[in-house]
Amino acid sequence: MKITVKAPANIAFIKYWGKRNEKLRLPANSSISMNLSGAYTTTSVEFDSKLKSDILILNNKEVVGREMERVSKHLDLIRSIAKSKNYAQVKSTNNFPKGAGIASSASGFAALTVAAAKAVNLNLSEKKLSILARLGSGSACRSIPNGFVEWKMGNSSESSYARSLFGSEYWNIYDLIAVVGENSKKISSTEGHAVAESSPFYKTRLSGMKDKVAEIKSALKRKDFTKFGEITEAEAINMHTVMMTSVPPLYYLLPGTLDVISHVLELREKGIECYFTIDAGPNVHVICKEENKRKIQKVLSDIKSVKTVLINRAACGARVI
């Protein structure tokens, strides 16, 4: 049976950076995110007893090597639960640039997990799917539940999964992604996590996490956009400080990134409220309320280094289509 799944990318307001257990992808802290309506992966999986190995076709091109091995390893995990030996053909497309900080591994592994589990006839709960997706790529566990999501760090594989805090209709805020670079990053986030601890600021980052998560959850509950945005922006800078001060240092930001940041600050000075956040890549996610969306979109589109602006609001989690 061929199963097709659409899974959203997600943007973390409180980031996952650094792991307590690399193999199990247990994060060093809990994180908070929103699924993105305009950035998603569509994946179909079909197990076939005639296949001699797994096949991965990504954006219409067959993929081999490390990327393929990571997918095969994830399929092995699902096969072992289902006690199946069949290989699979996996076809996957992203509607956004891969490896550029729009969490392609999150939507990719969320879609792969749900499609493969269904295709091999496993009927798993959302919690189980989130745990499985986490084992493929940590942030993928947040693309399983709906809307606004919390990934509780937990203290074991079974207790580290994401759940929905609020559905996608809860709050009409937007994430306008100013794309300034479309090339895959040189250092993957998996490699980045592994060196986070080497930053002298990492311990300080983690010591403030519990309070930060509680504060942003409270702001979300109150729909306090100003507080929510301030925490989000400070958190992105906090993570990039750790990145840039780790050994080796990781510079995901490009000149265009800083260009967009300065426009965000200018917009705010003019009373147009918006805040930025950035993942492990150069693109800037500008968070705003609906009433300012058009104006901000126009300003971002007019910046020379901005190639395109992707518009997102909160979306539901991974779904069979």
**Which residues of this chain interact with ligand DP6, rule CB under 6 A?**
12, 15-17, 25, 31, 103, 105-106, 137-139, 189-190, 193, 279-280
DSSP bridge pairs for 6 = 42, 319
Q: What is the DSSP letter of 200?
A: T
Minimum separation from the CB atom of position 282 to ligand DP6 (A): 12
Least Å distance, CB 263 to ligand DP6, is 22
CB of 134 to ligand DP6, least distance (A): 8
Q: Which is nearer to ligand DP6, 87 or 151 (CB)?
A: 151
Nearer to ligand DP6, 94 or 139 (CB): 139
Q: In whole angstroms, how close is the CB of 49 to ligand DP6 at the nearest point? A: 30
What is the residue-wise DSSP string for 33-94?
EEEEEEEEEEEEEEEETT-SS-EEEETTEE--THHHHHHHHHHHHHHHHHT---EEEEEEEE
Residue 136, phi then psi, degrees to nearest 5: -80, -45
- C-beta closer to ligand DP6: residue 193 or 313: 193
Least Å distance, CB 295 to ligand DP6, is 28
- Least CB distance to ligand DP6 at residue 28 (A): 11
45 CB-contact burial (10 Å; exposed 0-12 / middle 13-18 / buried 19+)? buried
Q: Kindly state the smallest distance separating residue 242's Cβ from ligand DP6, in Å.
A: 10
Could you give the dihedral angle defined by the CA atoms of residues 302, 307, 309 and 315, in that order, rounded to the nearest 10 degrees?
Answer: -170
Q: How far is CA 302 from CA 297, 307, 313, in A?
A: 9, 9, 21
The smaller minimum CB distance to ligand DP6, of residues 182 and 273, is found at 182
If the CB atoms of residues 70 and 91 are measured against ligand DP6, the closer one turns out to be 70
Q: How far is the CB of 125 from ligand DP6 (least distance, A)?
A: 21
Both tokens of residue 134?
A: 């986490």
Q: Which is nearer to ligand DP6, 193 or 293 (CB)?
A: 193
Single-letter code of the amino acid located at 135: L
Nearest CA to 27 out of 205, 214, 148 is that of 205
Token pair recorded at residue 275: 């805040």
Chain centroid to CA 294: how far?
25
Cβ-closest residue to ligand DP6?
A: 138
Label residue 183 left, alpha or beta by phi (over 0 means left) and psi (-120 to 50 means alpha). Answer: beta
Q: Are 8 and 315 in contact (CB under 8 A)?
A: yes
Residue among 160 and 292 whose Cβ is closer to ligand DP6: 160
Measured from the CB atom, the residue of 100 and 300 that comes closer to ligand DP6 is 100
